[in-house]
Amino acid sequence: MPKSVKLFLVTEHSKLKDMSTKEKFEYVWEYYKIHIIAFVFACVIIGNILNTLWFNPQKEMFLQITFYDGFIDSDTLDSFSAHLEEALMTPEERETMRVTGVDLMINSGEPQVEMAGRQRFIVMMAAREIDLLVISQEELVTLAPEGLLLPLHEIMSNSMIAQMSDKLIYAHDEYGVELVYGIMLDNNRLFESYGLFTQGKSLAVIINTQRNEAVRNSIEYIFEHSQE
């Protein structure tokens, strides 16, 4: 041990040995509170880092389904997401990946809530967090010309699209070309089994999704396993 450190410890010990417990506490806090606060702060940061990287690492995104308008309570979102995880992912994938649902509450009737929802939608799109979009059929035909939605033929097979011919929603792209952008969710048994409103709703794919296989598999599952 360096002599300077040893001398420091001896000096501090001599100061503290004749003090009461209260006096010791007040002395230590008076002269070392910055060091104590810094130490506690460092411990919290290190603990959070260890928790995130080692003990409870955050799961990667397997699929993100966003409900554009209306209101859905968090418990319903969690249950619906858990159902898709169970249906679409292997046990190994579920250990490291997740399906999440988000409700933007656009067209909720509250101007501030709607504005916040639209801002959040833009931010999430820019971060490429959205894959599937549950949206009213009226809103869908307004988003497609803005280049925000992916034509379904770019992600789904022709045979699968043909099987859904009576549920397809057409809209014009930014060049005025009419393409398939959505699938009607009216009376979809899977959605309704979770109390999710389906009338006038549709399922669409966001333009910059990076999880094409998960999106394709989820669309097929939603419609193959929920026919009337």
SS3 of 21-34: the string is HHHHHHHHHHHHHH
Report CA-CA distances (Å) from 174 to 120, 121, 171, 186, 227: 23, 20, 10, 27, 33
Mean pLDDT, range 54-75, rounded to an integer = 80
Is 120 found in the same domain as 18? no
Q: Average pLDDT in the 85-99 region?
A: 89
pLDDT level of residue 15 (50, 70, 90 thresholds): low
170, 179 contact by CB (below 8 A)? yes
Q: Which DSSP category does 97 fall into?
A: E
pLDDT exceeds cutoff 90 at 96: no
pLDDT at position 29, please? Answer: 74
* Domains contained in the chain, number: 2
pLDDT, residue 57, reads 54
CB atoms within 10 A of CB 2: 7
Helix (H), strand (E) at residue 185: none
Domain match, 87 and 108 both? yes
Give percent above pLDDT 70 in the chain.
83
24 and 85 share one domain: no
Residues 119-177: tens digit of each pLDDT: 988 998 898 989 999 999 999 999 999 999 999 999 999 998 998 899 999 999 999 99
Coil, strand or helix at 74:
helix
- The H-assigned helical ranges of 51-90 are 74-88
Q: Are residues 113 and 42 in the same domain?
A: no
Q: How far apart are CA 66 and CA 71, in angstroms?
A: 12
Range of the domain at 190: 60-224
User: CA-CA distance, 136 to 68, in Å (whole number)?
Assistant: 8
Q: Is the pLDDT of residue 30 over 80?
A: no
Q: Give the domain CATH number at 75.
A: 3.40.190.10
The whole-angstrom separation of Cα 169 and Cα 204 is 9
Asked if 122 and 150 sit in the same domain, the reply is yes
Residues 66, 40 share a domain:
no
What's the confidence (pLDDT) of residue 12? 61
The C-alpha atoms of residue 183 and residue 175 are separated, in whole angstroms, by 21
Between 120 and 15, residue with greater pLDDT: 120
Which of these, 15, 134, 122, lies nearest to 69 by C-alpha position?
A: 134
Question: Which of 34, 55, 76 delimits the end of a domain?
Answer: 55
